[in-house]
Structure 1
Amino acid sequence: MVMRIGIMTYHFSDNYGALFQAYALREWFLAQGYDAQFVNYHPEHVEGGGNFELGNFFSKKNLKVLYLRFSKLKTKFFGNRQQKKNFEEFRSNYLGVNGAEYKDISDLESASLEFDLLVCGSDQIWNPSDQFGLDPVYFLNFEIKNKNVRRISYAPSFGRDEISAKYHNQLIKMIKKLDGVSARELSGVSIITNLADIEVSCVPDPTFLLNDYSKVMTPYPLKVGRYVFCYALRSRAVIGEATEMIADNLGASIYSPYNSHRRWREIGETVYPCPRQWLYLMENSDFVVTNSFHGTALSILLNKPFIVVGLREGKSSLNARALNLLEAVGLRSRFIDNSTQEIIDEILNSPIDWRMVNANICNLRMQGEAYLNDQLSKMKGDIDG
């Protein structure tokens, strides 16, 4: 019988990086001959805010809930409907996600799910939110029909290099229930090992498990000419100026994908790609400028000249994710936190040694595969036993 694998991650997000890390993990399992599918868990608290806290309307939690609810309504009524449809089609056609959603633990447990292996990861599923905290479901802390199911994590991220002490006890309790534990960043490994006496593997983001993305790309109609692809999230600070300076130097246009959460001045010309076109735009650009983890990961995998612009002030803790990855492939110098002409000139005059980088990518891929194959072999042993 073919073993059934259930994957728990942020597969529902209208975010390019979230979709491609989900796609890559499932594709790897399918290539090994397993029946892999996503557990269609889509809790309201992740993007819709969830419930308000009673008694203190102006609490940090309530303000976050209010912001998320407003953003959801804004996107629903004023967002780009074609792009929304494109994300939904990608989930259906390339992630295999169809059917009803599960909104909470009771929905999951009443569904009588049948899997031999449950995998939680990747993305920031272990990053506690202001409005909800840690979600037990993303630690696979729920019951399914198969009482002997093996539960493991693959490359989940805390999103930062430390988490509040108020979550420590809950975190320890939930992680110790997993049969196999891994994290995406070394900082994540440190968080776990400092709190619990368990073995933790550091494995790469699922996008590194694949070495060819050509079959999932499709052209986006553009004007003829050179262009810089800017994938900016959360802020325009520094990245806007850096992109403009690089484009001026290269004599290139600037294209930036539409972002429904953008609250800053446009960087170049806004484009509206579906996920497959987003990857095509990156692949065919002359240069990529990003402040996104998956923008970084896919620039590396596609061997594109790129820089990563650090987030600032209250968002600076999120830089740990990209920095950890850049150090792992030997490209720490591609991270900048300022956009002076001297810094930009140095970047443009420093070609990347892709032979070295690709060797490091190969090593990362082997680490990820070794961890997954070890967990699969243990699952087979449990079944045979």
Structure 2
Amino acid sequence: MMNLCHQHNGGMEVNMFYNIGLVVMMNDGIGNGIVNFALYHFLKESGYTVLMINVLKTQVSGDGWKEQYVDLLDVENTFWRDNKGRKELLKMNQICDMFLLGSDQLLRAGFVKVTDFDICLPWVNSLKYKAAYAVSFGSDTYEDEKSRKKLDFFLHRFQRLSVREKSGVDLLKRQFGLEGDWVLDPTFLCDRKHYEKMAQKGLSRIPKRKYVAAYLLDMEGFGEAVIRAAEKKCGVKEHLAVLESQIRDKDSYSGSMNTMPEAKIEEWLALIENSEFVITDSFHGLCFSLIFQKNFLVIFDKECWRGNARFDSLLSLLHLTDRIVYSPEDLADALELPDIDYSVVNTILEQEKDRSIRWLMDTVHEGIHFRGESVQETQLVLWGAGNCFSRNYNRIHRLYPIQYVCDGNPLKWGTHPKEGVLCISSEQLKTLGDVFVLITVDHPGVSLQIANMLLDMGIQKMDHIENWLE
């Protein structure tokens, strides 16, 4: 058993076990930081022990993510592990009851490849429950066919999936043949009082006078014009903007807007909470405009790589799609919109929050009590009667009785590579009914071909020996 030590309230906790391994991709973006905090905090408040596992090897490593906060007391009880390689990730199987893939655009093709598919949990073994809460593909379509085939295999290993955008439900069905549920972003699950408490620590750079707030990820568009127009609408003479680029480099902007460089998460929350009006092109800027019940406009450039799906689902749900400004020509009409009726919005959000919490709590309960029924209640069949099979047979046989091994070589069909084990063809495999197939082939490319062949045969319960035995 691995030692996991972490300084906590002046003491040291050793050999910790966790109900949930919360798998995230940490970076220095504010939205990423707040969504990771929200899901972690909600699960802990629900009574579970949670280990946050960062699978991203670059951008934020070591203690770098702590620089996002004014006060580290906001995250002092966060137990986390950085990705120091596949061997370290494999050790997480020893200390976590289940694994939950966190929210944000974790399944966008580019991000999947940046993590070398670690975000898809290939390092989690088959006897562990795998679920995803409010993950996003970042688009209505998975963009990269080559990586889609590999992702298809990994997603079929999950026991339960939920997505952040309604379009993601259709995408899962259409491109992966999987069922998924649409749930709210984790930021809506936490009580607003937690964000208000954090915002109180971020007031030092917030204007004393009334102002328009802006949070912009991209500066190539017409955001500055929208901010100036919103000032006039609100009858205020001041604005304050947080620019995503200035979080990394305070000198990245040289325009005329009043900005708050290197903003911390608490300052960002305070910026939105204390504003008269919010302008944003960020999904989480939209979320917190709703949480703090602000009037707002969302700027969306149709050429933006981030996609519109992130806005469409939430604003359609709340009947607020008229708050999206696609071009400067839309601005005049958008500024004439009446104030948002938050009695209606809050009613919808509360209903969706209850539904999303039920989904998450049911999933966690099922996951913690999961003991690999996918294998125990089905017949275990090995695929591959070569060297990999011979090396690992005894280890597998100690865990489960094996009657069959399937192989693509007709000369092996009907033989007994081990006493009591019959080698069969793929056609015979189809007749066995409910099976779990363990791929015992060393070559990764051949293993993937076998996985795709099994999926074509309608067999979804499978894993590779390397994952399964760790």
Range of TM-score over shorter length: 0.7 to 0.9
How much has 1:119 moved relative to structure 2? 0.6
Q: Hey, what does 2:99 align to over in structure 1?
A: 118
Q: Which of 234, 258, 267 is the aligned partner of 1:269?
A: 258
On the 8 A contact 2:66/2:72 being kept in 1, the answer is no
Alignment of 1:157-196 (within 5 A): 157-164=136-143, 165-196=145-176
Change (3 A) 1:36 1:344: farther
State how far apart, in whole Å, the 2-side matches of 1:95 and 1:136 are.
29
AA aligned to 1:19 is G
Change (3 A) 1:288 1:181: same
How much has 1:244 moved relative to structure 2? 1.4
Q: Hey, what does 1:350 align to over in structure 2?
A: 338
On the 8 A contact 1:161/1:317 being kept in 2, the answer is no
Instruction: Compute the TM-score of the two structures, normalised by the length of structure 2.
Output: 0.67
Change (3 A) 1:319 1:259: farther
The alignment status of 1:327 with 2:309, answered yes or no, reads no
Q: Hey, what does 2:24 align to over in structure 1?
A: 9
Q: Which of 29, 40, 44 is the aligned partner of 1:26?
A: 40
On the 8 A contact 1:157/1:185 being kept in 2, the answer is yes
Largest Rg, 1 or 2: 2
Q: Hey, what does 1:279 align to over in structure 2?
A: 269
State how far apart, in whole Å, the 2-side matches of 1:185 and 1:18 are.
16
How much has 1:243 moved relative to structure 2? 0.9
CA deviation profile, 1:177-209 (whole Å, cap 9, x unmatched):
001111111222221101233321111111111
Change (3 A) 1:108 1:84: closer
State how far apart, in whole Å, the 1-side matches of 2:172 and 2:81 are.
34
Q: Which of 108, 115, 133 is the aligned partner of 1:127?
A: 108
Q: Hey, what does 2:359 align to over in structure 1?
A: 371
CA deviation profile, 1:80-126 (whole Å, cap 9, x unmatched):
xxx98641666774274467622332331256641112110201111
Is the deviation greater in 32-41 or in 83-92? 83-92
Q: Aligned with 2:122: secondary structure?
A: coil
Q: Between Structure 1 and Structure 2, which shows a larger proportion of strand residues? A: 2
On the 8 A contact 1:40/1:97 being kept in 2, the answer is no
Q: Hey, what does 2:217 align to over in structure 1?
A: 233
State how far apart, in whole Å, the 2-side matches of 1:227 and 1:187 are.
35
Q: Which of 166, 177, 180 is the aligned partner of 1:200?
A: 180
Is the deviation greater in 135-144 or in 230-239? 135-144
How much has 1:267 moved relative to structure 2? 5.9
How much has 1:7 moved relative to structure 2? 0.7
How much has 1:18 moved relative to structure 2? 0.9
Number of aligned positions between the proteins: 345
State how far apart, in whole Å, the 2-side matches of 1:359 and 1:130 are.
35
AA aligned to 1:201 is D
CA deviation profile, 1:289-322 (whole Å, cap 9, x unmatched):
0000110111111111111000242x15612211
State how far apart, in whole Å, the 1-side matches of 2:191 and 2:317 are.
17
AA aligned to 1:39 is I
On the 8 A contact 2:280/2:286 being kept in 1, the answer is yes
On the 8 A contact 2:68/2:265 being kept in 1, the answer is yes
CA deviation profile, 1:3-30 (whole Å, cap 9, x unmatched):
61111113x3221111111111112111
Q: Hey, what does 1:246 align to over in structure 2?
A: 230
Instruction: Compute the TM-score of the two structures, normalised by the length of structure 1.
Output: 0.80
State how far apart, in whole Å, the 2-side matches of 1:208 and 1:163 are.
26
The alignment status of 1:154 with 2:144, answered yes or no, reads no
AA aligned to 1:28 is F
Change (3 A) 1:337 1:95: farther
Q: Hey, what does 1:36 align to over in structure 2?
A: 50
AA aligned to 2:232 is D
Which runs of 5 or more residues in structure 2 are unaligned?
1-15, 374-470
Change (3 A) 1:229 1:84: farther
AA aligned to 1:371 is W
Is the deviation greater in 17-26 or in 281-290? 17-26
Q: Aligned with 1:182: secondary structure?
A: strand
State how far apart, in whole Å, the 2-side matches of 1:19 and 1:172 are.
28
State how far apart, in whole Å, the 2-side matches of 1:263 and 1:131 are.
28
Q: Which of 191, 208, 214 is the aligned partner of 2:196?
A: 214
AA aligned to 1:24 is A
On the 8 A contact 1:254/1:267 being kept in 2, the answer is no
Q: Hey, what does 1:76 align to over in structure 2?
A: none
State how far apart, in whole Å, the 1-side matches of 2:298 and 2:71 are.
27
State how far apart, in whole Å, the 2-side matches of 1:34 and 1:131 are.
28
Q: Aligned with 2:160: secondary structure?
A: coil
How much has 1:134 moved relative to structure 2? 6.8
How much has 1:347 moved relative to structure 2? 2.7
Change (3 A) 1:107 1:99: same
State how far apart, in whole Å, the 1-side matches of 2:65 and 2:80 are.
18
Which runs of 5 or more residues in structure 1 are unaligned?
49-71, 73-82
Sequence identity of aligned pairs in percent? Answer: 23
AA aligned to 2:22 is I
State how far apart, in whole Å, the 1-side matches of 2:80 and 2:101 are.
20
On the 8 A contact 2:23/2:55 being kept in 1, the answer is yes
